[in-house]
């Protein structure tokens, strides 16, 4: 008779394979989104290419702009020098927001419209995993892609500017000292996390919910309920609280620094932001919207 083995089960010795198997459907669901929606990175890249090309044509006037800026007050010097960088970041962020809006509104509606949902549902991937993967693309992948493209674009602009200024005998170190590029990128990253990820989460989740529910015209159904509530409140109560609420949500709330998101002088106050009740209420609604979207996807068929 063989003696009883004291060996532990393989899963007890090494839980890593089990964890890998559990996360693999999520990983490939995210990869699937990147394959199907190439605009996630192509649109910001296209905008960045146009920005760099346009900046090449204004390089000739850069030394004159820097000389004029040196004669201004200290508070206006950086604004004059950083104008191209602010425009570049603003345009790339705007393009990413438009792509996010379109993606959230089409991602669950599109697979029902082209009937590919029949194939995807045949795979061993749950509806919740699919919805969370799509939400991760919105809240993590897109901001990260936008940030990287912005960093590369502004680095190219900075190097080109430095080369032109050095060729004209101007101080490159003074130019860098006024711009403070590393602090600027820190502010940009803070803006992306607080506004485009945390504060806009309920907006994206609402659009995904409508995308899972609507049989046609998802944009109309996404806009109609807020519009109807605003009109009803104005007529019935002569107030505009809901309209103001939507304005604060879309503008980014107290932490939205869209007009100065690249200003290195601006103070970062994560504690104040995390203590904002609107942030946590918004995240709670976002979680509820995503849960309902997953339930709807389970029972919704092709259009």
Instruction: Provide the pLDDT for residue 282.
Output: 92
Label residue 217 left, alpha or beta by phi (over 0 means left) and psi (-120 to 50 means alpha). left
pLDDT at position 42 over 50: yes
Instruction: Provide the pLDDT for residue 21.
Output: 63
Sign of the CA dihedral 85, 88, 90, 93?
negative
User: Among 49-53, 61-65, 290-294, which stretch is predicted with the lowest mean pLDDT?
Assistant: 61-65
Q: Quick count: other Cβ atoms within 10 Å of Cβ 123?
A: 12
Instruction: Provide the pLDDT for residue 195.
Output: 86
**Contacts of the segment 125-130: beta carbons below 8 A, 24+ positions apart:** 125/25, 125/28, 125/29, 126/25, 126/294, 127/294, 127/295, 127/297, 127/298, 128/291, 128/294, 129/25, 129/26, 129/29, 130/29, 130/294, 130/297
192: exposed, middle or buried (C-beta count within 10 Å: 0-12, 13-18, 19+)?
buried
Instruction: Provide the pLDDT for residue 259.
Output: 38
Measured distance CA(146)–CA(93) in Å, rounded: 7
**Contacts of the segment 271-279: beta carbons below 8 A, 24+ positions apart:** 273/194, 278/248, 278/249, 278/253, 279/198, 279/199, 279/253
**pLDDT average, residue stretch 203-228:** 94
**DSSP letter assigned to residue 59:** G
Q: Quick count: other Cβ atoms within 10 Å of Cβ 232?
A: 11
Residue-wise pLDDT for 18-41, tens only, equals: 555 657 888 888 988 998 899 999
Instruction: Provide the pLDDT for residue 258.
Output: 41
Instruction: Provide the pLDDT for residue 89.
Output: 87
Kindly compute the dihedral angle of the four CA atoms of residues 93, 96, 100, 101, in this order, to the nearest 10 degrees: 70
pLDDT higher at 288 or 193? 288
Residue-wise pLDDT for 105-159, tens only, equals: 999 999 999 888 888 888 888 999 999 999 999 999 999 999 999 999 988 988 8
Please tell me the pTM assigned to this model.
Answer: 0.83
pLDDT at position 228 over 90: yes
pLDDT at position 241 over 60: yes
HEC assignment per residue over 90-113: HHHHHHHHHHHHHHHHHHHHHHHH
pLDDT at position 8 over 50: no
**pLDDT average, residue stretch 206-212:** 95
Res. 43 pLDDT band, cuts 50 70 90: very high
């Amino acid at each position: 008779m063989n003696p009883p083995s004291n060996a532990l089960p393989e899963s007890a010795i090494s839980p890593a394979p089990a964890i890998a198997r559990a996360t693999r459907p999520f990983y490939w669901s995210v990869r699937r989104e990147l394959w199907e929606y190439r605009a996630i990175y192509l649109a910001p890249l296209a905008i960045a290419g146009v920005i760099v090309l346009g900046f090449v044509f204004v390089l000739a006037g850069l030394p004159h702009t820097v000389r004029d800026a040196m004669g201004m007050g200290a508070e206006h010097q950086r604004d004059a020098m950083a104008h191209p960088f602010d425009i570049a970041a603003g345009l790339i962020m705007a393009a990413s927001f438009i792509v996010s809006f379109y993606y959230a509104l089409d991602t669950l509606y599109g697979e029902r419209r082209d009937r590919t949902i029949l194939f995807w549902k045949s795979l061993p991937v749950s509806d919740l995993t699919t919805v969370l993967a799509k939400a991760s693309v919105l809240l993590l992948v897109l901001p990260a892609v936008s940030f990287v493209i912005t960093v590369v674009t502004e680095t190219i602009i900075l190097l080109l500017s430095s080369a032109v200024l050095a060729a004209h005998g101007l101080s490159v170190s003074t130019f860098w000292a006024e711009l403070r590029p590393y602090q600027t990128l820190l502010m940009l990253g803070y803006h992306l996390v607080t506004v485009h990820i945390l504060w806009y989460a309920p907006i994206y989740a609402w659009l995904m919910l409508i995308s899972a529910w609507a049989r046609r015209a998802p944009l109309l159904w996404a806009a109609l309920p807020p519009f109807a509530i605003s009109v009803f409140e104005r007529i019935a109560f002569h107030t505009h609280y809901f309209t103001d609420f939507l304005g604060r949500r879309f503008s980014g709330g107290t932490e939205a620094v869209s007009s100065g998101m690249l200003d290195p002088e601006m103070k970062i106050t994560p504690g104040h932001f995390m203590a904002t009740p609107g942030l946590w209420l918004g995240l709670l609604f976002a979680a509820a919207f995503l849960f309902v979207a997953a339930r709807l996807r389970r029972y919704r068929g092709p259009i």
